[in-house]
Amino acid sequence: MLYFLARVILFVIAFSALRSVVTMIQRAFTGGAAGRTQPTVRNAQSAPQNGSQAATMLQQDPVCGTYVAIDTSLKRLIGGRVVHFCSPECRDKFSA
């Protein structure tokens, strides 16, 4: 019984190792993107303006580079353009 259990554990370890090797080979041939999705960043100028997408559209904070949702960001009109900030600190740094 112990011999059978040892063989099953050895089989599981060998299968996991083989799967890892196959995954690394796939990533090498696909440029490292196998099994991963690229994050998408929506821009207020490029996305259509409707209620369902407005909550998920993001803008980049010009001070720290953080992407913030446009409906929850701090906004300031600068030079005729709306600029979105993640925090009052970033807004104040940009104004200074």
* Domains in the chain: boundaries: 1-38, 51-95
Per-residue model confidence as pLDDT tens digits over 64-94: 988 998 888 888 888 888 899 999 999 888 8
Cβ-based neighbour number of residue 69 at 10 Å: 15
Averaged pLDDT, 33-59:
57
36: pLDDT strictly greater than 90: no
